[in-house]
């Protein structure tokens, strides 16, 4: 009998166990049984050869069509040429010095063939493929492998083909004793889930398609529950540390601010503002994610929340991902507040507060002054980078932290934030992101936060028109780009030119692909070429902070016509007079990043223009992504398209970390019902039993889940 935690060598022998460990990182029974088939072949149905891709390690179910032997002239050896077919297309295979295989590979036989797909003179081929024929008569074991009508095809590796994996799985399943089902019986009953033993058998050796479907459903639930239990526990522990309530103060700063707002709040701003106001008035710390397109008016919402807290005599902090952004936030908050934010200055309003900026690059004297204002409570609103929290800056009484741009601020940082309230309290936390994410992703990746979304744009927002400029197909359009930029500047407007790279990196000689265009190359080329005579500035992340700030100021003040920059301008930069953006090598950016970038134009009263310049060709997946960005400016729609176009494995960041993904079966796109239902169930269980003392199986499942903290859906380089 074997349990899920058992190691494999005793069951499969040292050699096989070692091969599984080195080729697929499979060490335990559980690892092996959670190495699910990638797909299933149906007995009698051959694999479509047309679907193969060059370079992939493929497994195909095919029929031997022809085998012939020839001598190699140069060396004293033989080549066995074999053609296999799916009935429509052919794949050639070559075996070097393996003439003895000729007697096995009889035309007409079918089997699985695995190997790396290469091309030889325009035909696809497998070199020295591994294979397993279905009708190896005298090998009872091989027969047994393929008796079933549904044949699992596993993610395989060189030397560990799918049928070897299947054989290991079968050996293990034969002696498997899963013990108590980790999923409580009441949950299984409620959601009609198979028991674990049935599901593990069913996913590897399904008796029929219904068995397989039921098994997949159950195992998806395992994944969903593990993730949602973690978030339910996080939510639970977040509220176990109380916050100080900050009720609305009548006649306070917030009221004064509302009175002088030059516009009406949108319905969304009002509704979310009410939700936040209620959260802030409660003893439960707020943990809210505010999603909203660039320009949807999140900052106003955040500022009103901060004022409600300041009205209660506490402080609010606003954290930005970069110093440039922090400085800019401080400026725009001061601007929006006017005399309400000029405490200590001449002409300040009666109950005015003070906006204090603190960044790492400040001079010692300035920094000391800021720190003093923060610890004394003189600063009602403190603006800084995320370092504000990491550096243990002392606050008099931090009541609210607003974190701008969620995706650079992970779960651990949010946890650190929770301890920064006065005494044993936790500050309220409002996280803002301009990258809209589908609801299922929010529930899976930011499951510990309540989510609010600002879906409408303030009235009077100018439209942004986006055009893909395919310079490989239409070279003449290249000149037209710079003419358009000149036209905008001619009308008194400004433009951004965005490049993927800075250009001060040492050249890499590894890649045969052209390196992406760089700010430091493009700027002088434009200056001496098509944009001669215009005032051009440069901005990138490796400039000293003072220089960056100076350039941003110059651009804001319209002292520069064109800003050539990296994605440092991606977030938060607000220059309403900038109306055009040219994104060079646009294919090097992700969909949401492009969307975020173009949000920098069209912020004023004039329509914005965004040109996506690319050398990629029509019909490629990359061009499809650019076309999606061109087709809609609805960020929520785009994020859905993006999710469809991206491989889901990337979502939980498993690809980058090299770890296997937590989510193997659960699809964020298609399994919304499972995600929502498991979230609900997890919440109920944790409310009764926060430490899962009565649910040892579930607790174990949570432990098994790989590092949810890596769930950096948006962190895509
Ligand atoms: P975000 O932070 O979501 O990108 P901001 O809060 O910076 O957006 O708002 C963008 C611009 O829209 C700002 O100039 C802001 O003053 C303005 N704005 C915000 N809310 C409204 C509204 N309800 N009506 C008109 N303009 C608004
Ligand atoms: Mg903003």
Please spell the DSSP secondary structure of 133-162, one letter per residue: ETT-TT-HHHHHHT-SSEEEE---BTTB-H
Express each pLDDT in 607-646 by its tens digit: 899 999 999 888 777 888 899 899 988 887 887 777 776 6
**pLDDT at residue 240 is higher than 50:** yes
Q: How confident is the model at residue 653 (pLDDT cuts 50, 70, 90)?
A: very low
Higher pLDDT, 127 or 30: 30
For the segment 576-581, the average pLDDT, to the nearest whole number, is 94
Judged by average pLDDT, the poorest of 577-586, 680-689, 707-716 is: 707-716
CA–CA distances in Å: residue 589 to residues 581, 598, 601, 622: 14, 12, 17, 10
pLDDT of residue 510: 56
Most ligand 1 atoms within 8 A of CB, residue of 295, 296, 434, 464 to mutate: 295
For the segment 672-679, the average pLDDT, to the nearest whole number, is 91
Tally Cβ neighbours within 10 Å of residue 434. Answer: 25
Higher pLDDT, 61 or 508: 61
**Closest-lying ligand to the alpha carbon of 268?**
1
In the three-class reduction of DSSP (H, G, I as helix; E, B as strand; rest coil), residue 601 is classed as coil
pLDDT of residue 656: 30
CA–CA distances in Å: residue 382 to residues 99, 279, 301, 320, 341: 77, 21, 16, 11, 12
CA dist 169 and 120 (Å) reads: 35
CA of 450 to the centre of ligand 1 (A): 22
In the three-class reduction of DSSP (H, G, I as helix; E, B as strand; rest coil), residue 435 is classed as coil
Superfamily of domain 464-632: P-loop containing nucleotide triphosphate hydrolases (3.40.50.300)
Closest approach atom of ligand 1 to CA 302? 6
**pLDDT at residue 132 is higher than 90:** no
Give me the percent of the chain exceeding a pLDDT of 90: 50
pLDDT of residue 165: 93
pLDDT of residue 53: 73
Higher pLDDT, 684 or 511: 684
Q: Between 696-704 and 209-240, two packed helices, what is the crossing angle to 10 degrees?
A: 90
**pLDDT at residue 658 is higher than 50:** no
CA dist 194 and 96 (Å) reads: 48
**Do 253-454 and 464-632 have matching folds?**
yes
pLDDT of residue 129: 87
CA of 466 to the centre of ligand 2 (A): 21
**Closest-lying ligand to the alpha carbon of 273?**
1
Most ligand 1 atoms within 8 A of CB, residue of 292, 299, 457 to mutate: 299
Give me the percent of the chain exceeding a pLDDT of 70: 91
Most ligand 1 atoms within 8 A of CB, residue of 297, 304, 462 to mutate: 297
CA dist 689 and 568 (Å) reads: 45
Name residues contacting ligand 1 (CB within 6 A).
Answer: 263-266, 269, 292, 294-300, 434, 458, 574
CA of 112 to the centre of ligand 2 (A): 55
**pLDDT at residue 583 is higher than 80:** yes
pLDDT of residue 293: 80
Q: Which helix (H) or strand (E) holds 189?
A: helix 185-190
pLDDT of residue 459: 73
How many Cα atoms occupy the beta-carbon half-sphere of 602 within 13 Å? 25
**pLDDT at residue 221 is higher than 80:** yes
Express each pLDDT in 407-439 by its tens digit: 666 667 777 888 888 888 999 999 998 777 777
User: For 198-265, what is the HEC assignment?
Assistant: HHHHHHHCCCCHHHHHHHHHHHHHHHHHHHHHHHHHHHHHHHHCCCCCCCCCCCCHHHHHHHHCCCCC
Q: How confident is the model at residue 46 (pLDDT cuts 50, 70, 90)?
A: confident
Residue bearing the CA closest to ligand 1, atom 9: 297
Mean of the per-residue pLDDT values for the chain?
86
Query: What is the token pair recorded at 450?
Result: 């309540």
Judged by average pLDDT, the poorest of 120-124, 534-538, 563-567 is: 120-124
Return the closest-CA partner of residue 128 out of 79, 90, 66.
79
Most ligand 1 atoms within 8 A of CB, residue of 458, 569, 574, 578 to mutate: 458
Q: How confident is the model at residue 264 (pLDDT cuts 50, 70, 90)?
A: very high
Superfamily of domain 253-454: P-loop containing nucleotide triphosphate hydrolases (3.40.50.300)
**Closest-lying ligand to the alpha carbon of 292?**
1
For the segment 575-591, the average pLDDT, to the nearest whole number, is 93
**pLDDT at residue 110 is higher than 80:** yes
Residue bearing the CA closest to ligand 1, atom 5: 297
Rg (CA), the chain: 30
Higher pLDDT, 316 or 506: 316
Higher pLDDT, 564 or 162: 564
CA 190 to centroid of chain Cα atoms: 32
Judged by average pLDDT, the poorest of 5-14, 232-241, 243-252 is: 232-241
Q: How confident is the model at residue 707 (pLDDT cuts 50, 70, 90)?
A: very low
Closest approach atom of ligand 1 to CA 454? 3
CA of 445 to the centre of ligand 2 (A): 22
Domain spans of the chain, in order of start: 253-454, 464-632
What pTM value is reported for the model? Answer: 0.65
**pLDDT at residue 281 is higher than 80:** yes
Tally Cβ neighbours within 10 Å of residue 158. Answer: 11
Closest approach atom of ligand 1 to CA 460? 25
**Closest-lying ligand to the alpha carbon of 320?**
2
CA dist 343 and 315 (Å) reads: 14
CA–CA distances in Å: residue 104 to residues 80, 90, 403: 12, 19, 66
* Beta bridge pairs of residue 583: 498, 612
Residue bearing the CA closest to ligand 1, atom 21: 458
How does DSSP assign 464-491, residue by residue?
EEEEEEETTT-TTHHHHHHHHHHHHHHT
Helical H runs in 384-456?
Answer: 387-390, 411-418, 439-445
CA–CA distances in Å: residue 134 to residues 111, 142, 600, 627: 5, 7, 60, 46
Closest approach atom of ligand 1 to CA 299? 6
Query: What is the token pair recorded at 638?
Result: 């785009």
pLDDT of residue 646: 61
Express each pLDDT in 307-342 by its tens digit: 999 999 999 999 998 888 899 899 999 999 999 999
**Closest-lying ligand to the alpha carbon of 263?**
1
CA dist 667 and 670 (Å) reads: 5
Q: From the DSSP assignment, how many helices (H) and strands (E) are in the chain?
A: 25, 21
């Amino acid at each position: 009998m074997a349990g899920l935690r058992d190691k494999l060598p005793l069951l499969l022998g040292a050699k096989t166990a070692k091969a599984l460990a080195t080729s697929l990182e499979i060490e335990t029974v559980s690892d092996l049984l959670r190495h699910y088939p990638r797909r299933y072949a149906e007995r009698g149905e051959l694999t479509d050869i047309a679907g193969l891709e060059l370079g992939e390690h493929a497994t195909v179910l095919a029929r031997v069509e022809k085998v012939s032997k020839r001598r190699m002239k140069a060396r004293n050896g033989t080549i066995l040429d074999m053609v296999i077919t799916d009935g429509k297309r052919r794949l050639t295979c070559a075996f070097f010095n393996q003439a003895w295989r000729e007697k096995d590979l009889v035309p007409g036989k079918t089997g699985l063939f695995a190997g790396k797909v290469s091309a030889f003179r325009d035909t696809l081929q497998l070199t020295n493929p591994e294979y397993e024929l279905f009708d190896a008569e005298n090998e009872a074991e091989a027969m047994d492998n393929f008796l079933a009508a549904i044949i699992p095809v596993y993610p395989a590796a060189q030397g560990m083909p799918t049928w070897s994996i299947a054989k290991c799985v079968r050996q293990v399943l034969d002696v498997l004793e899963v013990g108590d089902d980790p999923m409580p019986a009441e949950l299984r009953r409620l959601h009609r889930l198979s028991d674990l033993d049935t599901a593990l058998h069913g996913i590897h050796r399904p008796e029929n398609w219904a068995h397989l479907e039921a098994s997949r459903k159950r195992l998806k639930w395992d994944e969903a529950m593990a993730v949602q239990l973690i978030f339910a526990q996080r939510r639970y522990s977040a509220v176990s540390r109380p916050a100080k309530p900050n009720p609305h103060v009548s006649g306070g700063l917030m009221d004064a601010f509302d009175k002088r707002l030059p516009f009406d709040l949108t319905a969304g701003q009002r509704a979310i503002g009410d939700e936040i106001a209620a959260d802030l008035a409660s003893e439960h710390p707020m943990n809210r994610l505010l999603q909203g397109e660039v320009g949807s008016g999140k900052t106003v919402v955040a500022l009103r929340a901060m004022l409600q807290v300041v009205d209660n005599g506490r402080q609010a902090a606003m954290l930005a991902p970069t110093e440039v952004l922090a400085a800019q936030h401080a400026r725009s908050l001061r601007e929006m507040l006017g005399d309400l934010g000029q405490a200590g200055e001449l002409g300040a309003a009666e109950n005015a507060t003070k906006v204090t900026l603190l960044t790492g690059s400040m001079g010692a004297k300035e920094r000391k002054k800021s720190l003093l204002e923060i610890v004394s409570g003189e600063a009602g609103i403190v603006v800084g980078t995320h370092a504000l929290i990491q550096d243990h800056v002392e606050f008099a009484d931090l009541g609210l932290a607003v974190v701008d741009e969620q995706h650079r601020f992970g779960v651990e940082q949010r946890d650190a934030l929770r301890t920064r309230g006065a005494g044993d309290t936790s500050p309220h936390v409002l996280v803002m992101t301009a990258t809209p994410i589908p609801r299922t992703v929010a529930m899976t990746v930011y499951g510990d936060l309540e989510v609010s979304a600002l879906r409408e744009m303030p009235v009077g927002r100018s439209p942004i028109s986006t055009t893909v400029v395919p310079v490989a197909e239409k070279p003449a359009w290249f000149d037209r780009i710079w003419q358009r930029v000149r036209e905008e500047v001619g009308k008194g407007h400004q433009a951004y030119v965005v490049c993927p790279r800075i250009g001060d990196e040492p050249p890499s000689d590894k890649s045969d692909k052209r390196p992406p265009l760089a700010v430091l190359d493009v700027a002088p080329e434009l200056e001496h070429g098509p944009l001669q005579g215009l005032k051009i500035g440069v901005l990138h992340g490796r400039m000293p902070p003072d220089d960056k700030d100076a350039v941003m100021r110059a651009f804001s003040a319209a002292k520069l016509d064109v800003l050539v920059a990296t994605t440092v301008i991606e977030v938060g930069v607000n220059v309403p007079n900038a109306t055009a953006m040219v994104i060079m090598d646009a294919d090097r950016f992700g969909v949401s990043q492009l969307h975020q970038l173009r949000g920098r134009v069209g912020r004023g009263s004039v329509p914005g223009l965004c040109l996506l310049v690319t050398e990629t060709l029509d019909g490629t997946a990359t061009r499809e992504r650019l076309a999606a960005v061109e087709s809609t400016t609805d960020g929520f729609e785009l994020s859905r398209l993006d999710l469809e176009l991206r491989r889901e494995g990337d979502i939980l960041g498993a690809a980058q970390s090299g770890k296997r993904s937590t989510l193997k079966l659960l699809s964020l796109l298609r399994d919304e019902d499972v995600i929502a239902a498991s979230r609900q169930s997890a919440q109920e269980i944790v409310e009764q039993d926060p430490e899962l003392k009565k649910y040892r199986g579930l607790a174990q499942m949570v432990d098994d889940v790989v590092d949810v903290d890596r769930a950096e859906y948006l962190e895509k380089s």
